[in-house]
Amino acid sequence: MSNYFNINGMNLYYEIKGDLNSNKVVAFFNGVMASTSSWEYVIPVFEKLGFKIILHDFKGQLRSDKPEGPYTFVEHASEAKALFDYLKIEKIHLIGTSYGSEVAMRFSLMYPSFVETLSIIDGVSELDEVLEGFINNWEYLLDLNDGEKFFLGMAPIIYGNRYYKENKQLLKERAAKFKKVDPSYFKGQRILYETFKNDVNMTEEIVKIKTPTLVIVGEDDLLKRVKFSEIIANTIPNTEYFVIPNCGHVAIFESPEELQTLLAGFIIKYL
């Protein structure tokens, strides 16, 4: 089931999958370039386990409205909570990747009693010069006004070498699809990049997260390198930490089987 949720005159796109009557709820927060469909290789295990599955696009992302920004992670979190309240969700297991994992940490700080478990995939809680440089370069690519060149320019940074080597044709096809993306997508991307740079520094705050937490990172993640996940795992109490071998930044595409095992195995312990 897919629909739009209106909050303050803005429409957020959302989907509900799995067992619609289940009281076991898992919610997924997208990476910055992604949409709800990006989770298609990860959610099957939760469908088999009888979860209700909630997905949505943040404002600025593909199917949601793109008001002027920059935004804040607090805004993203409060809008997601409003959606969950609208859907009469009482508690969630929260999974986020990249940008979504950073919003998930902020969400967990804001609504600690609402989050039963927190899973962070390829996330950071602070910037360094290299990471900021990559984001700045994506903004330069946006200035080309060419979706295909944008994709080809950012792909070597976000995909690991194994996946890149084994999926050259698939990546070419994805790049060609980006040629046809509506220009509003790139407007939203620029706003979200600025939001990330302005709002991601929260290492000193995440020590307050008491929710059982799983931290996962791809061994070959060039964008949000392993050191950032180590910082998160060493800062949030009650954390389990795993590195996926031969995997870059987009673990949800590159290593979905391993992710299903790690995420489901972790969450089941807290049912």
Tens of pLDDT along the chain (271 residues)?
779 999 999 999 999 999 999 999 999 999 999 999 999 999 999 999 999 999 999 999 999 999 999 999 999 999 999 999 999 999 999 999 999 999 999 999 999 999 999 999 999 999 999 999 999 999 999 999 899 999 999 999 999 999 999 999 999 999 999 999 999 999 999 999 999 999 999 999 999 999 999 999 999 999 999 999 999 999 999 999 999 999 999 999 999 999 999 999 999 999 9
Stated as kind and residue range, the H or E segment containing 197 is helix 183-199
Element (H, E) at 5: strand 2-7
Show the domain range for 100. Answer: 2-268
What contacts 204, CB < 8 A, 6 or more positions away? none
Per the DSSP assignment, residues forming a β-bridge with 217 are 243
pLDDT of 2 reads: 75
| pTM for this model (two decimals) | 0.97
Using one digit for the tens of pLDDT, what is the confidence trace for 7-66?
A: 999 999 999 999 999 999 999 999 999 999 999 999 999 999 999 999 999 999 999 999
DSSP string, 110-177: H-GGGEEEEEEES--SS--HHHHHHHHHHHHHHTT--HHHHHHHHHHHHS-HHHHHHTHHHHHHHHHH
Which residues, 6 or more positions from 15, have their beta carbon under 8 angstroms from its beta carbon?
Answer: 1, 2, 3, 36, 53, 54, 55, 56
What is the secondary structure of 239-269 as a DSSP string?
EEEEEETT--S-HHHHSHHHHHHHHHHHHHT
Neighbours of 8 (CB within 10 A): 9
SS3 category, 43:
coil
Using DSSP's 3-state secondary structure scheme, residue 48 falls into: helix
| CATH number of the structural domain spanning residue 81 | 3.40.50.1820
**pLDDT at site 83:** 98
pLDDT at 1: 76
Domain count, the chain: 1
200 φ, ψ (degrees, to nearest 5): -80, -20
Helix%, strand%, coil% for the chain, nearest 5: 50, 20, 35
Distance of CA 204 to the CA centre of its chain: 21
